[in-house]
Chain A
Amino acid sequence: MAQNRLEEEQQLGTKFNTENYTRIAKYLLPYKSSIAKIFGVIIFSNIVLVLGPFLTSVVIDETIPNQDATQLLWITIIYTLATILNGAAIRYRLYNIPLLGQNVLRDMRYDLFTHLQRLSFSFYDSRPHGKILTRVVNYINTLSDLLSNGVINVLSDILSILVTLVFMFSLDVTLTLYSFILLPILFVITLVIKNKQRIAYDELSAEQANLNAYIHESIAGIKTTQSYTREGMNYEIFSQFSDNQRKAWMRAVRVQFLLGPIVQNIATITIAFIYFAGISGLGVNVSTGILIAFVGYVNNFWNPIINLGNFYNSLVSGSVYLERIFELMDIEPSVKDSEDAFEMPPVKGDVEFRDVTFGYKEGQTIFEELNFHVKPGETIALVGPTGAGKSTITNLISRFYDVQKGSILIDGIDIRDVTLDSLRNQVGVMLQDTFIFSGTILENIRYGKLDATHEEIVEAAKIVRADEFISGMKHGYRTIVQERGSTLSAGQRQLISFARTLLADPKVLILDEATSSIDTQTEVLLQEGLDRLLEGRTAFIVAHRLSTIRNSDRIFYIGDKKILESGSHEELMQQKGLYYQLYRTQSELLKKV
């Protein structure tokens, strides 16, 4: 899943890793007692199944020749009782097998989801989200049948083959052996088909993933598509993906459906041979009843084999999905708690970068040997050309990425030594792209502090001047917003996101372009509230507006992979360096009519 593009989903190797079965077994293990019970019930059902031909042979061979009506009555009663009991067994199976399957699926989904929560930014940045989604939801559902009915049925089938074998051997050894003559051919054919099928299913799942990812992105980007009237072209691309999926599907089923007919033909030939051998006395001498019963058993024997073949089919196709799921589970988060990580003690707000070298990609450094020290309570404005790495600094403080060289210390503690949770709980960051969850505005603000009261939330909203527009809405704080806040303006989303960050009450506050979409009037008001709030907190502010920058204690001018200038507004203005130039140009530009 290393690809970050739509058209390609890399193909898996040709061999299925047997380790995956062990992993699946781990998911089944907690339910072993339930599996055992189901198994017991299945044994019973199988006995009833074999009882049929057995009782038939008794009736034909004994009861009828003896004209024994009493025995017939008894046989009927026993068979009736067994059938009714079997009904009860079926009832048990019908609920408990899905229960088992659903439990396992739930557990797998849970594991996958919690794993996703651990993965770092770089994981999400490098692949279409539709593909991740497909794995968590769709692929696991595909396994549903395989895990519940599949595993149980396979046990049941093996069992019924064994039981049938016992009956067959007890009836006639030679005939039993005759029944196996064609088995080797079956094995060879199955092996050949299986290999082809695996490849076909691998292709199919890749095509399916591509299609889903494309649909997903089409929906997410529909506004852009419509404003660029790209509908026609997108339709073509979609059709192509859809058609590829269709072709891959047909290739897969063409192979898959071969197995059934082959098994059936082999079974029929075997039955014909049994008839022939039984009647012409080819090494055997059996009664009519036994011959009839035997043919019944051969059917009983072949049906499970057909089922096993089918199971094998779905196992092969399922294993493709399974592999992709496990593959995702195996991706190690690039940023994670170290083994002896401890809780970050309450932060005072001292932040230090020591010889920090960092780049998002190997060989492309953003910073080299970056050094600075920020005292508790200081407000730092980060300025510099776009792409200089202002946001990167803020990303590093929250430890969204790990530095390649050097270290980042908060209150003298290397942030890699503490747990991510305790760090991020005390370092509040308002990201450049605001993300609004579907739900009420209240819930969205509360996201910053899950146990916040209604009053606290309104208070935070008031400080950032969001209260005004929220109260103006029909349902106020209970107004429901759709995913990504599509009904709100960008400025409104920023205000909500701002309130959310403040509510978290962090000791170190990072505002990354927090007010870029907010109008000046609102910003002025917001600033007043913010000034009060910033007291006693360390803050890093990335902004372009002069008024915001001027108010900070120190300004870092970032460029050339390091801090080029640092100092207060007045100091830097006196230096007449880069900051001075930036500031002058901006004022000039504004004043020029």
Chain B
Amino acid sequence: MSSFRWIWGYIKPYKVYWFWASLWTVIVALLNVVTPYIGGMIVDEVINKERGSLLVPLLVIMIVATVLRTVLRYVYQMMFETTGQNVLFKIREDLYTKLQEMDFVFFNTTRVGDIMARMTGDTDAIRHAVSWVYFNILDSAILFISAIIFLGAIQWRLMLSMLIITPFIGILTVMLSSRANAAYYEIRESFSRLNSMVEENIGGNKVVKAFANEDYETKKFNKRNEDYRERNLFSAEISRTYLPVLETLAGLLSVITIGLGGFFVIRGIMTVGELVAFSGLTWMLNVPMRSIGMFMNDSQRFITATYKIRQMLSAKPLIPVEQQRREQRIRGEVEFQHVSFAFADDPENKVLEDISLKASPGQTIGILGETGSGKSTLVNLISRFFDPTEGRVLIDGEDIKNWNVRELRQNISIVMQDVFLFSDTIQENISYGTPEAPIETIREMAKVADASPFIEKMPEKYGTYLGERGSGLSGGQKQRLSLARGLMKNPAILILDDTTSAVDMETEVKIQDAMRRVSQEKTTFIIANRISSVKAADEIVILSKGRIVERGRHSELLQKRGAYYDIYREQLGQSEVEEAFDDGTE
């Protein structure tokens, strides 16, 4: 029942509309009786009582009623379709908004294919219920009730004998629906899995090809494809258990009409005209009964879909998006106070441990460390994509949790390690965070990020469309576009997470020089593996297994002859160090 209450919340804004549409449905259902009823009258009055003058008026009524009925039906169908589309629109909108609020943990653990299934297949099941199933059930119910009334008026004994069948139909329907429910859930799940598999195959097509694993992929696909087929057939299996019985019972109604009705006529209990009228109206009992199975299937699909959608809508983001605004420009002071962090599913495994760090506005912090030592997690805490499990992160002296998340992020530019570019023009991609930006600024930032040389070489320059995720561009090109995008925001805090790893060192230096001009007052965090990237930082920290093991300026760290010094030597090439010292300085 809760599914119906929930969907009513969406229909409510259109309730007047909905009410009228329902009323038309009832009227049309009643008008359905006119044609067969007139048929009966023609036999009784015109033929048997030979009142020929009535024929034409009766036929005219019949035609007019049909025109009226079909026009009204078209009108209410449109009304239901409109409502259904509006409901669909709103649900989709709510889902989309919810998704935008969800945190990284959610997206790290939820497959894109699953979310797609919610947004497409499930929402469509709901639309179908609102704009089609509802009025058809209403229509059938009215038909059934009016059939009982009309048939009862013609010959109540015959009608009652038909009603004997109804309880069986009720029982069967309940049995069917409870089993169908589970089956539909399975179908949806299986569909999700199929969807995710194909999605991943398309996304990873290059790897598939590189390893010539097409056959393996096809095997994987076959399994899912077959599973989806089986699930669908299982639901057909359920249908074939119950529906034939329903159909037969419905068919027996006609048998009763002819057999028992004929008997009544022979006995003189009813007239031939009555029998004709009666048999002409039997379909009114028949049709609703035959449709019950289909309605049950559709309703179950609807209920299953609402469960899944409501589940997603009620998910609570770990980082709540507050609505109040504070309109405050961040100065850019960042402080970590004894911060530790672990993911909720693996609390033992501390990604960060007891990190204390302070950056004054305008300072640059360089972060080096082993693969998986927690560098990216550290900077993700600044943008509050995660909350620390212990300790506090302060921005401008205030706990990060007291900031409005969106406002906070507006002041922070994080150029992520995983570059995500959208299938849009280069211009749109660079100005992704600042949609109103003039082309001059875009050009300027592209120049700073050293992206302009390759952009200018493209035939459509800034208007060039990129493939999904920027496919077709080299890693270095993607990184430079992403950097330009990050610089566009003119943030108080700039975070560069391994931004230039795929760019050669000369270009990197060019970028660094250009950036020094634009990022002077910005607090900057640079994650890198190359010494050259962090050399100029005010403080360099070396992370190892989530802890800071060394810190200081470039020159200080070299003197320490610790881990940093080793990295430096290695990157320079050992022999080169000597060679360079032999040569003296050039």
Contacts and interface: CB of A to CB of B under 8 A. Distances in A.
A185 interface: no
A103 interface: yes
Contact of B476 (A95, A386, A430): A386
Given A94-B243, A387-B477, A492-B371, A116 B201 contact: yes
B325 interface: no
Given A5-B465, A261-B74, A292-B276, A495 B371 contact: yes
Interface stretch (B178-186, B246-254, B302-310): B246-254
B70 A272 contact: no
B222 A271 contact: no
A522 B544 CA distance: 12
A158 interface: no
B52 A280 contact: yes
Given A4-B465, A95-B236, A448-B211, A113 B221 contact: yes
Contacts of A253: 77-78, 81
Main secondary structure of the interface of A (DSSP, over half): helix
Contacts of B576: 546, 587
B292 to A, nearest CB: 14
Nearest to A503: B211
A383 to B, nearest CB: 8
B240 A91 contact: yes
Given A386-B476, A490-B417, A432 B502 contact: yes
A205 B112 CA distance: 22
A408 interface: no
Interface centre among A239, A434, A521, A589 (most CB of B within 10 A): A521
Interface stretch (B39-47, B356-364, B389-397): B39-47
Interface in B234-284: 235-237, 239-240, 243-245, 247-248, 251-252, 254-255, 258-259, 262-263, 265-266, 272, 275-276, 279
A517 B498 contact: yes
B320 interface: no
Nearest to A497: B207
Given A94-B240, A102-B233, A280-B52, A72 B263 contact: yes
Interface stretch (A81-89, A162-170, A189-197): A81-89
B318 interface: no
B417 A433 contact: no
Contacts of A103: 229
B550 interface: no
A385 B204 CA distance: 27
A488 B214 CA distance: 25
B211 A504 contact: yes
Contacts of B77: 253, 257
B467 interface: yes
A109 B211 contact: no
Main secondary structure of the interface of B (DSSP, over half): helix
A432 B475 contact: yes
B258 A56 contact: yes
Contacts of B262: 59, 63-64, 72, 75-76
B148 to A, nearest CB: 21
B66 to A, nearest CB: 4
Interface stretch (A350-358, A371-379, A419-427): A419-427
Contacts of B459: 364
B563 A521 contact: yes
Contacts of B243: 90-91, 94
B204 A437 contact: yes
B103 to A, nearest CB: 9
A398 interface: yes
B327 interface: no
Nearest to A144: B232
Contact of A227 (B56, B239, B248, B416): B416
Interface string A453-497: 000000000000000010011100000001110111111101101
Interface stretch (B16-24, B113-121, B136-144, B154-162): B113-121
B529 interface: yes
A513 B468 contact: no
A341 B119 CA distance: 45
Contacts of A55: 258
A291 B272 CA distance: 14
A228 B489 contact: yes
Contacts of A482: 108-109, 111
B323 interface: no
Interface stretch (B3-11, B166-174, B504-512, B515-523): B504-512
Contacts of A242: 89, 92-93
B3 to A, nearest CB: 23
Interface stretch (B94-102, B330-338, B438-446): B94-102
Interface stretch (A176-184, A211-219, A310-318, A533-541): A211-219
A288 B540 CA distance: 103
Given A246-B89, A264-B66, A288-B47, A94 B236 contact: yes
B63 A433 contact: no
Interface string B466-478: 0111011011110
Interface in B335-380: 343, 346, 348-349, 368-373, 375-376
B468 A217 contact: yes
Nearest to B279: A56
Contact of A234 (B100, B200, B258, B370): B100
A264 B73 CA distance: 11
A432 B475 CA distance: 7
B406 A229 contact: yes
Interface stretch (A9-17, A22-30, A132-140, A409-417): A132-140
Given A60-B276, A431-B210, A589 B505 contact: yes
A342 interface: no
Interface string A352-368: 00000000100010000
B55 interface: yes
Contacts of A64: 262, 265-266, 272, 275
A348 interface: no
B88 interface: yes
Interface stretch (A31-39, A118-126, A560-568): A118-126
Contact of A99 (B71, B233, B259, B485): B233
A20 interface: no
Contacts of A141: 191
Nearest to B66: A268
Nearest to B406: A229
Given A226-B409, A519-B371, A60 B272 contact: yes
A221 B248 contact: no
Interface string A64-83: 10011100110110011001
A114 interface: yes
A226 to B, nearest CB: 7
A489 B229 contact: no
Given A94-B244, A121-B206, A438 B532 contact: no
Interface string A194-205: 000000000000
Contact of A218 (B66, B96, B435): B96
A75 B258 CA distance: 8
A162 B362 CA distance: 87
Given A52-B254, A586-B506, A420 B212 contact: yes
Interface in B411-444: 412-414, 416-418, 420, 422-424, 432-433, 435
The 7 closest A-B pairs by CB, nearest first: A491-B371, A76-B259, A228-B433, A87-B248, A261-B70, A424-B212, A268-B66
30 contacts: A59-B258, A87-B245, A94-B236, A94-B239, A94-B244, A109-B225, A117-B218, A124-B206, A133-B195, A133-B202, A212-B119, A223-B104, A238-B96, A260-B73, A265-B66, A269-B63, A292-B43, A386-B476, A387-B454, A428-B211, A432-B474, A447-B211, A469-B372, A491-B370, A504-B211, A516-B502, A520-B570, A544-B504, A590-B531, A590-B571
Given A72-B259, A86-B248, 19 more contacts: A63-B266, A72-B263, A83-B248, A87-B247, A118-B214, A132-B202, A137-B194, A215-B116, A219-B116, A221-B422, A227-B383, A227-B385, A280-B55, A391-B475, A483-B111, A516-B475, A520-B529, A521-B566, A582-B506
